[in-house]
Structure 1
Amino acid sequence: MQIDDKLLTKLEGLSALSIDTNKREEVISELSKIVQFVEILNELNLDQETATFTTLDGGTPFREDTPSVNPEIIETILEHAPKSQDGCFVVPKIIE
């Protein structure tokens, strides 16, 4: 994958960032190095490899995760919220 000015402009829009004109070449260079490294990793043949780390082995030493509904707690939390409606937080709309 080649990083160019067109792709950088697209990434700026997707990330809601703005890159200074004088730093664009430096950013393109750094992103290209990252992509080259990932492409090298993609060349590794890991078909015969097994995962050596997992958080699932041995279970969890913590309590059982059982849901409980306490209306008092919900009311207390919503009292401190800037806006709430029907037992839920009301947040500003960010996606049109």
Structure 2
Amino acid sequence: MLDEAEEKGYLTAPEISDLSQVEGVIEAIRRSDTQPVVLAVEVSAVGDRVDVERAARRAVLLQRLYTRHRGSGVVGIGSVAARQFTQGARKLASARGVLLKTFPIKLR
């Protein structure tokens, strides 16, 4: 899909390079309105503002890519999964509409 995006000009080479580093992509259907969504997922031990900004930026790129590829609207949503989050990450996520999810990490 990324090769097609570059060939057809949906995304620039720097955008494709950025998007190729996304740690996870989840396609889903939003229950509330059956709208197709795509999540850009970043994973970190401690989620910070950089993770939130990266997820938000890549969600925009995924939205553009999936909408062009499918020929219909797809909502891009940023998401960060981490063991814990900084206060700055929480504030920025709220402002940017990025989902935050904590998960337990067992250390050996």
Pair member with larger Rg: 1
Fold shared, TM-score > 0.5 on shorter chain: no
TM-score normalised by length of structure 2? 0.21
